[in-house]
Amino acid sequence: MIETIPAIDIIGGHCVRLSQGDYDTKTDYGESPADMAVRFEKLGFRKLHVVDLDGARAGKVINIKALKEITSRTRLIVDFGGGIKRDENLDSVFKAGANAVSIGSIAVNDPEKVLSWIAKYGAERFILSADVRNGIVRTGAWTEDSGMTINDLLSKYWNYGIRHVLCTDISRDGMLCGSNVDLYKSIMKQYPDCKLIASGGIGSLQDIEKLDEAGIPAVVIGKAIYEGRIKLEDLAKRINKDNTSDIN
């Protein structure tokens, strides 16, 4: 059964969602990230995907306080991304209680740095985050074309133990129009042992079912929850009762 992972995107200390990565489309839900995380945990979710959107745009971690509140108030397995560029950024995120970090732009722009982190902390503490538009990975908070495909990026890190990959189809992110199943199937065909997390476009339980039928291991869900398109109680019923984590 596919694993469902709720998402919290943070701007200014609040839960927000964007459409297609455009900050001008921000919807602020006025929710405290920690309060939302507690709600997720009470419903039975075990993992949480957190993105510091302020940090992603600034190139440094901004919402570390929100992360600390989440990890101090819950026992969720948290992965955190956004603005992690330097050693001190990474150290602060782990010290704040994150179990893993999502690395995006820096994985493209500074692979030597990322490989030094993998050597120090272990590959299991990292999720390779690939934001894709028209088949090409974007960096710099989705503003820059890397010229690399997701398979190009994966090939750089696979032999160093990276197996967790979060792939977002930017064109569908926040649009509630359904997931790019073909994209994720192509990744799994190339890397069948990949612990792939699909992201972008989920608007209904049926969209999750399609990914499940395609054999995709996990999916991140955000806007559909906040907009009420998927009720949390219904989503919680789908949780794999045998759900175990290899990020700890």
Catalytic residue positions? 9, 131
The H or E element containing residue 224 is: helix 223-226
Give one word for 30, left, alpha or beta, with left for phi > 0 and alpha for psi -120 to 50: left
- Return the ∠ at Cα 32 (arms to 205 and 54), rounded to 5°: 90
Q: How far is CA 237 from CA 217, 222, 230, in A?
A: 17, 17, 12
- Rounded CA-CA distance 120/116 in Å is 6
**173 in helix, strand or coil?**
coil
